[in-house]
Amino acid sequence: MLRGSLPAHRRGITDAKHRIRQELHPQLKSFWQQHPLLKDRWTAEPGQRPLIEQLADDYTRCGFRFVPLVTDDAACALDILLLRREEPYGLFSRAGDIDGRVKTLLDGLRMPQHCSEVNRHTPAEDEDPFFVLLEDDKVIYELNVTTDRLFVPPEPQEPERDVVAVIRVRTRTFGGSRMNIHDQG
């Protein structure tokens, strides 16, 4: 789940995309630690490094050691529920167009493709390794976006335009097997 600013995609939103990564990082890390098929990657045989560390080394870029959940040897479907405090089906929106907001979100779900996408950010102590959902957004084979009204009043100092996004992820390997990951992200 993501709560916060989701500006329409345009130049100068690098910080917004990285903030999305930062907000989802602890959720994805917890998922890796708890999922029955993934949690064994944190331990290693004596004299070996944990697989999670090896994965982070394989996906090092721009000063970060990323660990993507969905890599290019798999694919995923995303079901996104985007809640906002304005009419979701109005013709004109003061908060930006929906396709631009979704593009920003998708860019924030993946590893940066260029170092300019992390700007001058460096990993915090708890961001090594840094967990992200996607290696690249080209692994998305299906995308469903539903918008609706958010009736929760804003927290103090929270802009009225902030959103809540609930993301359901379904993965598929190229062998055709499925592993469902519900409400992760």
- For residues 144-166, give the mean pLDDT: 92
Centroid of chain to Cα 37: 20
pLDDT in tens, 102-154: 999 999 999 999 999 998 899 999 999 999 999 999 999 999 999 999 999 88
Q: What pLDDT was estimated at residue 184? A: 44
Confidence of residue 67 (pLDDT cuts 50, 70, 90): very high
User: Concatenated DSSP letters for 51-116?
Assistant: HHHHHHHHTEETTEEEEEEE-TTEEEEEEEEEEESS-TT-S--TT--HHHHHHHHHHHHB--SSGG
pLDDT at 162 over 60: yes
pLDDT at 17 over 60: yes
User: What is the dihedral sign for C-alpha 33, 36, 39, 41?
Assistant: negative
- For residues 46-72, give the mean pLDDT: 96
Two tokens at 106? Answer: 């998708």
pLDDT at 166 over 60: yes
Confidence of residue 9 (pLDDT cuts 50, 70, 90): confident
* Domain ranges, ordered by start, for the chain: 2-181
pLDDT at 10 over 90: no
Q: What pLDDT was estimated at residue 93? A: 54
pLDDT in tens, 23-47: 999 999 999 999 999 999 999 999 9
Mean per-residue pLDDT of the chain: 89
Q: How far does the chain reach from its first CA to its final CA, in angstroms?
A: 5
Q: What pLDDT was estimated at residue 92? A: 47
Beta bridge partners of 132: 68
Q: What is the pTM of this model?
A: 0.88
